[in-house]
Structure 1
Amino acid sequence: MSILTTSLAEVASSDATLRAFLHGLPGVDRVGADQRAAVLGTRSIKTTAKAQAIDLAISMVDLTTLEGADTPGKVRAMCAKAVHPDPSDPSAPRVAAVCVYPDLVAEAAAAVAGTGVKVASVATAFPSGRTSLEVKVADTALAVAAGADEIDMVIDRGAFLSGRYLKVYEEIAAVKAAAGEAHLKVILETGELATYDNVRRASWLAMLAGADFIKTSTGKVSPAATLPVTLIMLEAVRDFRARTGRMVGVKPAGGIRTAKDAIKYLVLVNETAGEDWLDPAWFRLGASSLLNDLLMQRQKLATGRYAGPDYFTLD
C-alpha cells in the first residue's frame, strides 16, 4: 500500500491497513537527524531577537506540578506565578498553561479564571498509561468536567511496540471524544520508543486518531525531550498539514532547563515546521524549571545584571 495513494479515511479500517501505512512512511536517517538538530542548535541570536525569543518562550511554557505530594496550596501558588511570572515586572508575559493531576483541576481552574492561562490535566493513568480504556475515558471526562481546557494523555507503549497500532489508535480516538471541546495532547514517551522510525510512526498514528498536539514525554522517563526527536515530530506535523490541511501542535517536555535550551527549540521550530508554529497555540515547552532561567535572562537583558538565585520563587 502506497502512503501517497492511500486515503487517510481508510488507513484505520483495520490493523493491517494501519500497519501498512505506518511502515510505509519514509525511514528516518538517524545520522542526518542528529546532525541537522546539532547544526540548528548552534545558531546564535542577537540581543533584540533574543529578548523577543525569551518572551515568546515564556508564553509557551506549561507550568507543571505532577507529584504525589501536590496540595491545593501548591497549585494556587503555581497558578499565581503562571499569571504573573515576575511580580516586579508586569510586562513579563503570562505562561500558556498550568498542568496538574485531575483531582486538582478545579483548584487550578478557579485560580486562573479570566486570565487567559489554560488548565491542562494529565489523564489516562499518567505516566504509565496502564489501565483499561474505560478508566482512561472516565479519567478524561472527570478532568474536563472539573474545568480542564486541555488533556495530556499517554499512549499504551506496550501496545505500540508490539505492533497493536489499531488498539493505540482506538484509545486515542476514544479519549479525544471524551475530551469534547478540550484540546488533546498525546504523549508518545519517545524515550521508550527505541527508534526514530517509531517516533515518526507514533506521531502520525496520534495525528490520524485526532490529536491536537503531540508531546515527547511525561518527564518521568529518561531520555525525555531531545532536539533530534523534536525535529522528527516537527517534520511529521509539517507533512501532516501538507497532506490534510490540519495543523497539529508539538510539545517537547522534560530536560529543557535553560533559556539557551529553549531558544534552540524555537530555532528548530522555525527552520523545520515554519513560523506558523511559533505560537503558544501550536508549540509548548513542558519544563517548569525552565521558567526561572528565562526570567533571569530576561531581567539581565533589561537591567544588565542577574537577579540572585532566590529572587524568583522555586517551582
Structure 2
Amino acid sequence: MSDRNPGMELDLEWVSRVRVNTQAVLKRAQQIQGRKLVKKQWEAAWLLRAVTCIDLTTLAGDDTPSNVHRLCLKATQPVRYDLLKELDMHDKGITTAAVCVYPSRVADAVKFLKAANSSLAVASVATGFPAGQTPLETRLEEVRLAVQDGAREIDIVINRTLALSAQWEALYQEIRQCREACGDAHMKTILAVGELGPFTTVYKASLVAMMAGSDFIKTSTGKETTNATYPVAVVMARAIRDYFLRTGHKVGFKPAGGIRTAKDSLVWLTLMKEELGDEWAEPHLFRLGASTLLADIERQIYHHVTGRYAAYQELPLA
C-alpha cells in the first residue's frame, strides 16, 4: 500500500464551512452512469483490474472455518487458470486485494492463506460491526484482538450517533483511538452512509474520518437498507480530493454493499478514474467490498474467452 495518511489536527472551521449542492451531485452521478463502457479486450482488462481491487467478503452469522477456507482459495485463484491462460494473464499473479471476515474468523483465514503460501492480506471488520453500538473500550479491544490474530487491515464502523448529532470532536477522538489500536494494520473507516442522511453530513463525516488518520473511507457495512450509491461516492470522492489538495495525503475509497455485476464494477472504476485519477483505480487506493461480484466478473471473462456464458456451476464458488 502507499504511504499512510497520518491524519491532522481536527479543523472544525473547515468542517463547518461544508455545503453540498445536491442537484449538482445527482447530475454528476448520472453523467458517470451514462458513460459508454469499454468493450472487447479492453473490457476484459478492466474486469481483471476490478478483480484485483475486490475485498472478497463473507460476513454471515453462519460462517465456519470451511467456508472461510473456500473463500481464501477463491481469493488466491479468483479466475479459472485456463481462462487467464487464454488471456496470457496466468503468470501475472492475479488475486483479489484481500479477504474480509469477522474478527473470530481472522485466525482461520490467516492459517489457510499461510498454508497456500499466499501473502494476501486478511481484513477484519471490527468495532461492533455493523451497528457500532457497543462501548468504546469493547470496540477498541476488538480491533486489538483482530490485529493480534493477524489481520493486516481493519474495517471499523463509526458511531453514527456522533455524526448525526454533529459531535465532530468526539467522533474524531474515537476514530483516532481506533487508528492507534490498529497499529501497523491499515484502517478503513465505514461511514454507513445510508444512515447519515444528507450529503453534507456524509461529506463532513468523510473529512473528520480522514483528519483522524483513516487510510480508506468506506461507504457502508452492506447491512444497511441503502448501501453504496454513485451520488454518495461522488460526495466522498470530492472530500478525498479536497483532503489531498489540502494535505498532500492520499486516502483510499471503498464502496460496499449491493455491488453485484461486472457492469457495476466498471462504472465504479470509471467514477474513480474521472473523479480522482488513475492512481485511485489501483488496489492500494480503491477496493470493492463484495461477496457475489466475483462470480459475475468471472462469467463475463468466460464469455470474452469462449463466446458463450458459463452456467454458474461451471465456475468455482467463492
Scaled to the shorter chain, the TM-score interval is: over 0.9
Structure 1: runs of 5+ lacking an equivalent: 1-7, 13-17
The equivalent of 1:28 in structure 2 is: 20
Secondary structure of the residue that 1:11 maps to in structure 2? coil
Q: CA deviation at 1:10?
A: 4.7
Q: Which amino acid aligns with 1:102?
A: P
Residue matched to 2:34: 42
The residue number in structure 2 matching 1:55 is: 48
Number of the residue aligned with 1:185:
188
Structure-2 residue corresponding to 1:83 = 76
What is aligned with 1:11? Answer: 10
Distance (Å, rounded) in 2 between the aligned partners of 1:218 and 1:231: 18
Post-superposition CA distance 1:13-46 (Å, at most 9, x none): xxxxx2x431212x11111111111111122213
Residue aligning to 1:269: 272
| Structure of greater relative contact order (alpha carbons < 8 Å, 6+ residues apart) | 2
Question: After the TM superposition, which of the residue ranges 294-303 and 184-193 deviates more from structure 2?
Answer: 294-303
Which of residues 294, 306, 310 is equivalent to 2:309?
A: 306
Partner SS for 1:310: helix
1: distance between equivalents of 2:284 and 2:119?
12
Match of 2:118 among 72, 95, 115: 115
Question: What aligned pairs does 1:236-315 form with structure 2 within 5 A after superposition?
Answer: 236-315=239-318
Could you tell me which residue of structure 2 aligns to residue 15 of structure 1?
A: none
Give the drift of 1:309. Answer: 2.1
Describe the SS at the equivalent of 2:256. coil
For residue 214 of structure 2, what is the aligned residue in structure 1? 211
User: Residue 143 of structure 1 aligns to a residue in which SS?
Assistant: helix
Q: Which moved more, 1:129-138 or 1:82-91?
A: 82-91
1:219-238 to structure 2, matched below 5 A, reads 219-238=222-241
The residue number in structure 2 matching 1:102 is 103
Is the alpha carbon distance of 1:29 and 1:81 closer, same or farther for their aligned partners in structure 2, counting shifts above 3 Å?
same
C-alpha offsets along residues 90-119 of structure 1, whole Å, 9 cap, x if unaligned?
A: 546210011111111011012123423210
| Mapped partners of 2:276, 2:265: distance in 1 | 16
Letter in 2 for 1:98: V
Counterpart Cα distance in 2 of 1:283 and 1:163: 28
- Normalised by the length of structure 1, the TM-score is 0.92
1:194 equivalenced with 2:197 (yes/no) = yes
Describe the shift of the 1:88–1:22 C-alpha distance in structure 2 as closer, same or farther (beyond 3 A). same
**Which residue matches 1:162?**
165
Instruction: Check the 8 A contact 2:10/2:208 in 1, yes or no.
Output: no
- Cross-structure match for 2:4: none
Match of 2:129 in 1: 126
Tell me the CA shift for residue 9 of structure 1: 4.9
Mapped to 2, the partners of 1:99 and 1:208 lie a distance apart of 25
Q: Is the 8 A contact 2:132 2:158 kept in 1?
A: yes
Please state how far the C-alpha of 1:67 moved relative to its aligned partner. 1.0
Q: Match for 2:103: what amino acid?
A: P
Counterpart of 1:67 in 2: which secondary structure?
coil
CA drift at 1:242: 1.0
Match of 2:3 in 1: none
**For the residues of structure 2 that align with 1:85 and 1:159, how far apart are their CA atoms?**
39
In structure 2, what residue type is equivalent to 1:272?
E
The SS at the match of 2:292 is helix
The residue type equivalent to 2:206 in the other structure is: S
Deviations 1:216-264 (A, max 9, x none): 0000002100011111111111111111011100000011110101100
1:87 Cα deviation after fit: 3.8
Q: Please, what is the CA RMSD of the aligned residues?
A: 1.4
Counterpart of 2:287 in structure 1: which amino acid? R
Amino acid at match of 1:157: R
Secondary structure at 1:286 match in 2:
strand
2:312 is paired with a residue whose SS is coil
Displacement of 1:181 after TM fit?
0.4
Give the SS at the match of 2:171.
Answer: helix
Between the aligned partners of 1:268 and 1:86, the Cα distance in structure 2 is: 24
Give the structure 1 partner of residue 139 of structure 2: 136
Q: Which amino acid aligns with 2:155?
A: D
CA distance, structure 1, for counterparts of residue 26 and residue 251 of structure 2: 23
CA distance in 2 between partners of 1:230 and 1:116 (Å)? 30
Preserved contact between residue 228 and residue 257 of structure 2 (Cα < 8 Å): yes
